[in-house]
Amino acid sequence: MNIFLHKAAAAISFEDVIKEFEQPLYWHIRRMVVDHDDASDVLQETFIRIYKGLDSLRDRDALRGWVYKIATNESLRHLSRKREMTLSEGSAALMDRLESSPGVDLSDGTALRFQKALLSLSPQQRTVFSLRYYDDLSYEEIAEVTGSTVNTLKVAYHNAKEKIKNAILA
């Protein structure tokens, strides 16, 4: 009986996942790829993968980390396909795009500088900072996304924050 209850509690429909995560994932992807059209494509690809893998997800508590992991991987795959990012450093191409993309409000200088500083980070630091700062994921959840240890992530987040502060104040 308990098993059945547990299974019922753990079951989650695709529609529920869409409702809960479509906007947070869109913004997470948008911060990674910058361009709105690219973010839309990556979001759709992310949800196709979520749909295909949802039945195999056993632990309901792991859902958040799991969907962010798919979104992050799809974003990085998209960027590497477009050759807009190396694995070790931030992307000048993405920073340029931030200023030239039609879906960016250039009038808010502070927010713009903040995003530029974020884009100057390495993909790992950017992912950690974005998931922690904007999406409020726990370090344990981010560890699921990135495959890093909690201590490594804490250091990466601290360093990312310092770099962003310095960039804003510069």
Partner 1 sequence: MEQSFEKIGKKMPYTVPDGYFEQMHERLSAIPRRQRRVVTLRWVSIAAAFVLVASAGFFALRQKPQVNTMADVVQSLSDEELASWLEFNDNDVFLALMEE
Residues interacting with partner 1, by CB under 8 A?
Answer: 14-15, 18, 22-23, 26-27, 30-31, 36, 40, 43-44, 47-48, 51-52, 98, 103-106, 108, 110-112, 114-115, 133-134, 161, 165, 168-169
- CB neighbours of 39 closer than 8 A, spacing ≥ 6? 26, 29, 30, 33
- CA dist 89 and 6 (Å) reads 44
CB 125 within 8 A of CB 31: no
From the CB of residue 51, how many other CB atoms can be counted at a distance below 10 Å?
A: 12
- CA dist 138 and 64 (Å) reads 10
- CB neighbours of 151 closer than 8 A, spacing ≥ 6? none
